[in-house]
A and B are shown apart, each in its own frame.
Chain A
Amino acid sequence: MSDCMLRLQSVTKRFGTTMAAESVSLEVGQTELFALLGPSGSGKTTLLRIIAGLDAPDEGRVLIGGRDVTRLPPYRRGIGMVFQDFLLFPHKTVAENIAFPLKMQGKSRAETADDLKWVSQLVRLTGLEERYPHELSGGQKQRVALARGLVSRPSLLLLDEPLANLDRELRKRMEVEIRRFQLELGIPFIYVTHNQEEALTMASRMAVMREGCLEQIGDKLALYHRPATAFVAAFLGSPNTFEGDVVGVEDGRAEIAWHGHRFWSRAHDGLAPGLRAVCYVKSEKIAFASSGAALAGRLRDTIFKGQYADYLVCLDDGHEITVSAAPDLCHRPGEAVGITWAADDGDAFPAVGKE
């Protein structure tokens, strides 16, 4: 990557016997909003702390703007950060909180005033300068935290689960705003979250982490539609899982036998006839079909979700499959339905650790 702003090289960190990061390498470009997605305990916050300098890696290097900062303390890295739970300084006013990075840099009063004005307008905070953090709403705290992270125009902004404590409405608004800040400022944002909706909404590229390892890294659409590992396939979206036997493999496709049914799916490394396989099909990629359906069953229930609905289809042999589709399909509970999906919409991986 030619405009690489952040580069991690084989970063490894152990806490006792736990691997918080295992040989993690990644690059983030100058204008990217990069999401690190993973379940809690996957090591994503540790990775962020290593980038910030709050934790030192056991092995590997951290480069920011081409400069090796692995051994630099946090206060000499010149990066901004938005913390989980905001971490506003409770004894300082909003203005003092936001101006803190400038104060540490020894900026003059005039410069500080200019920067404060600029950032307050950017995050729309004007008028709250003299309040204390405990007098602010959750959304206002979030804006102050963002303003404090951005005010010194850092070369990189780290965001650690910044929206985890906001209600749904506010979270959606802030998702859009954070994207806007990133576009306006043109600096890389590295966004850690366990919420895939957030990651998929905001990021341009993303990485999925699991137990200290990067499972997959790339364009968010690629991760969503073309998962490279079983973990990513199972983690993103809400997939249906079919565990069956591999009947044959040809041309990058595998034929899976599952409870007397047979269907094709994209085959990933390690599949061979006779082996067990797990196949993931995202629920919105399954469609109702009146003829040529792969599977037949009866509609058990419809879960209305607003913009879409989850149709729970009970197959004749008792297995249940979720189909996400437009909410206005006039299927009645008990009605016979057929469902199907394209071979490329299934991802089959070797089954591990199961009978």
Chain B
Amino acid sequence: MNHRSGFGVQVLLLAALYLFLYGPILYVIYVSFQIDSIWPFPPTLTLEHHTDLWQRRDYHAALWNSVTIGFGTGLIATLFATLAAMAILKYRSPGSGLVAGLFLAPLFIAPILIGISSLMFSRTVLGMPGSIFGATLANSTYATAFALLVVLAQFARYDWRLDDAAMVFGARPWRTFWEITLPITWPAMLGAFIVSFLLAFNNLEISFYNLGATPTLPTLAWGALRHGISAELYALAAIINFAVFALFTVLYLLLRLGTIRID
């Protein structure tokens, strides 16, 4: 009896926690399909806001810019994170902790500071005006730290002595990576790519400062907010959430697949 009621409390707690995490997001998705977005009760379904959004040309350009920044950041951050993780875990040395710490430190810097300082740095020191390229680089500083966390977590389970074995059997370092390390650990790198892609794709502060007038989805949404929350924004939020959810499902499946292959 006592045991059963304990179980009921646990289920309730879990449900409450999930509601806390996902309630607002589910609400936005719900509202995006409602005619009255101010007080959407009782529900009256419509696709009107989604079709409206689709017809807004400025959102198309912004989407393309966001994808470009996300893709570029994903590639750069994954490359750097992979190299850093190998340095830290494969070639362990007394300074490995410090090396890892300095790579992870950007996690603790406010993105808005990275935005402002990277803008000032590229303007003043590099003489480079704000551009998608600059925004990609600035996002990469932040995303590399996150990507490194993902790669480190996966690489920690990799047996680096496999690399030793490959080298003894005649594989040069690059060949060793290509033949052994990569085929076993690729889910780590794909995971890092997806995480850094999403970080840059969704980023407002860093991209905003480095891009000037060039829109991305978050900067456009941010700008639109000043004229009140329009119904298209709900639709935008719903679509992005769907896309992110889909990506994370892929990520999860790949990591599951990856662990099966490593064991």
Interface residues of A (CB under 8 A from B): 16, 49, 52-54, 73-75, 77-81, 83, 85, 87, 89-91, 100-101, 104-105, 134, 148, 152
**B8 is an interface residue with CB less than 8 A from chain A:** no
Smallest CB gap from A54: residue in B: B164
**B89 is an interface residue with CB less than 8 A from chain A:** no
Render B153-181 as a binary contact track against A, CB cut-off 8 A, 1 for contact.
00000010110111111111001000110
Sorted from nearest, which 9 A-B pairs have the closest CB atoms? A104-B170, A101-B169, A74-B167, A87-B165, A81-B168, A74-B168, A91-B183, A75-B170, A104-B171
For B162, list chain A residues within 8 Å (CB): 87, 89
Most buried by B among A54, A75, A78: A75
For A90, list chain B residues within 8 Å (CB): 184, 261-263
Interface residues of B (CB under 8 A from A): 94, 159, 161-162, 164-172, 175, 179-180, 183-184, 261-263
Most buried by B among A73, A85, A89: A89
7 cross-chain CB contacts under 8 A: A52-B168, A54-B167, A90-B261, A91-B261, A100-B179, A152-B169, A152-B170
Smallest CB gap from B183: residue in A: A91
Tell me whether A104 and B161 are in contact in the complex, defined as CB-CB below 8 angstroms, given that A74-B168, A152-B170 are known contacts: no
Tell me whether A105 and B168 are in contact in the complex, defined as CB-CB below 8 angstroms, given that A89-B162, A91-B184 are known contacts: no
Q: Which of A49, A52, A75, A91 contacts B171 (CB 8 A)?
A: A75
For B94, list chain A residues within 8 Å (CB): 16
Query: How many whole Å from A136's CB to the nearest CB in chain B?
Result: 14
For A16, list chain B residues within 8 Å (CB): 94
CA distance A78 to B169 in the complex (A): 8
Q: Is the CB of A83 within 8 A of B169?
A: no
CA distance A265 to B180 in the complex (A): 57
List the count of A-B residue pairs having beta carbons below 8 Å apart: 65
Q: Is the CB of B184 within 8 A of A75?
A: no
Query: How many whole Å from B175's CB to the nearest CB in chain A?
Result: 7
CA distance A91 to B166 in the complex (A): 13
Q: Is the CB of B169 within 8 A of A134?
A: no
Smallest CB gap from A104: residue in B: B170
Smallest CB gap from B167: residue in A: A74
For A73, list chain B residues within 8 Å (CB): 167, 172
Smallest CB gap from A55: residue in B: B164
Main secondary structure on B side of the interface with A: helix
Smallest CB gap from B176: residue in A: A75
Q: Is the CB of A105 within 8 A of B170?
A: yes
Smallest CB gap from B175: residue in A: A104
Q: Is the CB of B164 within 8 A of A100?
A: no
Most buried by A among B179, B184, B262: B179
Q: Is the CB of B166 within 8 A of A83?
A: no
Query: How many whole Å from A131's CB to the nearest CB in chain B?
Result: 15
Q: Is the CB of A83 within 8 A of B165?
A: yes
Q: Is the CB of B164 within 8 A of A104?
A: no
Query: How many whole Å from B188's CB to the nearest CB in chain A?
Result: 14
Query: How many whole Å from B155's CB to the nearest CB in chain A?
Result: 15
Tell me whether A54 and B184 are in contact in the complex, defined as CB-CB below 8 angstroms, given that A87-B161, A104-B175 are known contacts: no
For B183, list chain A residues within 8 Å (CB): 91
For B159, list chain A residues within 8 Å (CB): 87
CA distance A274 to B66 in the complex (A): 88
Known: A75-B170, A81-B169, A87-B164. 4 other contacts (CB 8 A): A53-B168, A87-B161, A89-B165, A104-B175
For A49, list chain B residues within 8 Å (CB): 164
Q: Which of B168, B175, B179, B180 contacts A54 (CB 8 A)?
A: B168
Query: How many whole Å from B186's CB to the nearest CB in chain A?
Result: 10
CA distance A101 to B183 in the complex (A): 17
Q: Is the CB of B165 within 8 A of A75?
A: no
For B179, list chain A residues within 8 Å (CB): 89, 100
Q: Is the CB of B263 within 8 A of A134?
A: yes
Q: Is the CB of B170 within 8 A of A101?
A: yes
CA distance A16 to B179 in the complex (A): 33
For A81, list chain B residues within 8 Å (CB): 165, 168-169
Query: How many whole Å from B234's CB to the nearest CB in chain A?
Result: 45
Most buried by B among A53, A74, A80, A81: A74
Smallest CB gap from A77: residue in B: B168
Q: Is the CB of B175 within 8 A of A83?
A: no
For A134, list chain B residues within 8 Å (CB): 263
CA distance A243 to B161 in the complex (A): 44
CA distance A91 to B185 in the complex (A): 11
Most buried by B among A54, A78, A80, A148: A54
Q: Is the CB of A148 within 8 A of B169?
A: yes
CA distance A83 to B175 in the complex (A): 20
CA distance A305 to B257 in the complex (A): 48
Query: How many whole Å from A24's CB to the nearest CB in chain B?
Result: 20
For B171, list chain A residues within 8 Å (CB): 75, 100, 104
For B169, list chain A residues within 8 Å (CB): 75, 80-81, 100-101, 104, 148, 152
Smallest CB gap from A16: residue in B: B94
For A78, list chain B residues within 8 Å (CB): 170
Query: How many whole Å from B137's CB to the nearest CB in chain A?
Result: 35
Query: How many whole Å from A129's CB to the nearest CB in chain B?
Result: 18
For A77, list chain B residues within 8 Å (CB): 168
Query: How many whole Å from A180's CB to the nearest CB in chain B?
Result: 23
CA distance A54 to B90 in the complex (A): 12
Smallest CB gap from B171: residue in A: A104
Smallest CB gap from B184: residue in A: A91
Q: Is the CB of B167 within 8 A of A83?
A: no
For B165, list chain A residues within 8 Å (CB): 81, 83, 87, 89
For B170, list chain A residues within 8 Å (CB): 75, 78, 101, 104-105, 152
